[in-house]
Structure 1
């Protein structure tokens, strides 16, 4: 059975706003079920280990999708979520996909995690698919290849757009603008219309713009997992 590793944020505070944050449910649940239903074993890890925090807003209104309900009703899935392995302790050997769900929490702890950066470098250089959606690509900023170059340098990458951050009123709350920082590391940032599904694959690197892109990112990761590694 092929194996995928999902790595979640452990950060629960939205800057200085006094509001909670964490991972975004749809961005975990939709890819989880697409891969699981395709016969993949999905393991969950997080920066700090244990039960990672969820953004409360990702359980409200239209954000509460059928996939989220299915995840929350599944005892095995919820048990995995309650007992995630700490990223420092994760062995990436045997993982054919490493995926970073988003949520605003990722903007604080993923880019500064050396263990995450090392794990992503190892996964990438051994030919695994590396995927991320929405704010999840913030974790890609932690990754440097053995050459010293950023993993995203020269590659087509999507992520939460500046216009979407402005639209949700959090441009002053986040530590940086994801679109800008991806470009600063040499990524060829691409985007579609706000709040519309937009996902791209550049070889084994698969990224999506927003929560609406989660399912398409998962499908592209499955396609990329069947392709030869790109140097």
Structure 2
């Protein structure tokens, strides 16, 4: 059975605002079910382990999709979420796909995690598909290849845009603008219209722009997992 690893943020506060944040439910649930239904054994991890925090905005009625409701109703899925393994304890060998959902929490802890960066580099070197959506690509910033180059350097990458960050009123709250940091790391930043599904596959690196892109990222990851390994 092929294996997928989903890694979530453990950060629960929007900077100094005191407002809660965490991972975004749709960005976990849609890929979880698409991968699971495709025959993957899906495991969950987080930066600190245990139950990761969810962004309350992703629990609002307009944000809750059928995939989210299915996740909430599934005892096995919720048990996995309650007992995520710490990233530093995860054995990534044998993983065919490693995926980073977003949520604003990712902007604080994923880029600062040496353990995550090392895990992503090992997965990439082993030929795994590496995927991320929305703010999840912040975690890609932690990963450097054996050459020392950033994983995203010279590759087409999507993520939450400056315009979308402005629209949610958090451009001055997040520690950096994801679009700008990805470009500064050498990525060719790609985007579509605000809030519309947009995802890009560059070999075995698959990224998406926003919550609406979550399912498309999962589908592209499945396609990329069947590609020959390339540097």
TM-score (norm 1): 1.00
Alignment-derived partner of residue 219 in structure 1? 219
Counterpart residue number, 1:95: 95
CA displacement, residues 68-119 of structure 1 (integer Å, 9 cap, x when unaligned): 0000000000000000000000000010000000000000000000000000
Q: Please give the secondary structure, in 2, of the residue aligned with 1:116.
A: helix
Secondary structure in 2 aligned to 1:166? helix
Alignment of 1:54-203 (within 5 A): 54-203=54-203
Per the TM alignment, residue 230 of structure 1 is displaced from its structure 2 partner at its CA by 1.8
Looking at structure 2, the residues matched to 188 and 229 of structure 1 have their Cα atoms a distance apart, in angstroms, of: 21
**Match of 2:51?**
51
Moved over 6 A (4+): none
Deviations 1:198-220, CA, capped at 9 Å, x for gaps: 00000000000000000000000
Distance 2:115 2:18 in 1: 28
Question: Take 1:134 and 1:74, find their aligned partners in 2: how far apart are those partners?
Answer: 25
Unaligned stretches of 5+ residues in structure 2: none
Task: With the length of structure 2 as denominator, give the TM-score of the two structures.
Answer: 1.00
Report the Cα distance in structure 1 between the residues aligned to 2:62 and 2:208, rounded to whole angstroms.
Answer: 19
Question: Which string of whole-angstrom CA distances, capped at 9 and with x for unpartnered residues, describes residues 120-150 of structure 1?
Answer: 0000011000000000000000000000000
Residue 209 of structure 1 aligns with which residue? 209
SS at match of 1:130: strand
- What do residues 135-191 of structure 1 show as CA deviations (whole Å, max 9, x unaligned)? 000000000000000000000000000000000000000000000000000000000
Following TM superposition, by how much is the alpha carbon of 1:229 offset from its aligned partner in structure 2, in angstroms? 1.3
2:35 is the alignment partner of 1:22? no
Question: Over aligned residue pairs, what C-alpha RMSD do you find?
Answer: 0.4
Of 140-149 and 10-19, the range deviating more from structure 2: 10-19
The DSSP-based 3-state class of the residue aligned with 2:145 is: coil
1:61 deviation in Å?
2.2
Moved more, 172-181 or 11-20: 11-20
Mapped partners of 2:30, 2:202: distance in 1: 21
Q: Distance in 2 between matches of 1:176 and 1:134?
A: 14
